[in-house]
């Protein structure tokens, strides 16, 4: 009987150390045309928060969507719903900056050489 009891205790301890499954699933996370777009799923009708400042409520199927004129400095965002939290990488976030740096409009026009006096 003792080995069975010990196995039950070990199983209970292992169950305590396993990570809990996140109740937030992200299906889209991107930055395009000056908009941060994050879509996902969580518990039905849950209140969902993006980076602690934008709020929405999931629909009856648990789906939610953020479309904000906001660019996270780190190109990562934190989404919370109740006690659950999830961090996501925002795709195209860095590419947008790189594209702007390479754009001809972003470069200043060449300066003309000064005329030498004789």
Q: pLDDT tens digits, residue range 42-86?
A: 999 999 999 999 999 999 999 999 999 999 999 999 999 999 999
Domain holding 70, by residue range, is: 20-101
Q: Is residue 13 part of a domain?
A: no
Residues 66/38, Cβ–Cβ less than 8 Å: yes
Query: How far is CA 70 from each of CA 37, 75, 93, rounded to the nearest angstrom?
Result: 9, 11, 11
Per-residue pLDDT reduced to its tens digit, 82-102: 999 999 999 998 875 556 556
**pLDDT for residue 55:** 98
CA atoms of 106 and 70, how far apart (whole Å): 21
> What's the rounded Cα separation, in Å, for the pair 62 and 25?
10
Q: In this structure, is residue 111 part of a structural domain?
A: no
CB 88 within 8 A of CB 29: yes
Decide if 90 is inside a domain: yes
User: pTM of the predicted model, to two decimals?
Assistant: 0.64
């Amino acid at each position: 009987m003792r080995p069975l009891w010990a196995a039950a205790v070990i199983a209970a301890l292992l169950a305590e150390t396993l990570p809990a499954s996140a109740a937030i699933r992200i299906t889209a996370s991107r930055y395009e045309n000056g908009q941060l777009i994050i879509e996902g799923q969580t518990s039905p009708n849950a209140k969902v928060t993006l980076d602690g400042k934008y709020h929405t409520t999931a629909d009856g199927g648990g789906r939610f969507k953020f479309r904000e004129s906001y660019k996270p400095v780190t190109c990562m965002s934190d989404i919370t719903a109740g006690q659950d939290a999830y961090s996501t990488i925002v795709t195209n976030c860095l590419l947008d900056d790189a594209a702007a740096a390479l754009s001809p409009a972003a470069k200043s026009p060449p300066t003309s050489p000064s005329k030498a006096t004789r």
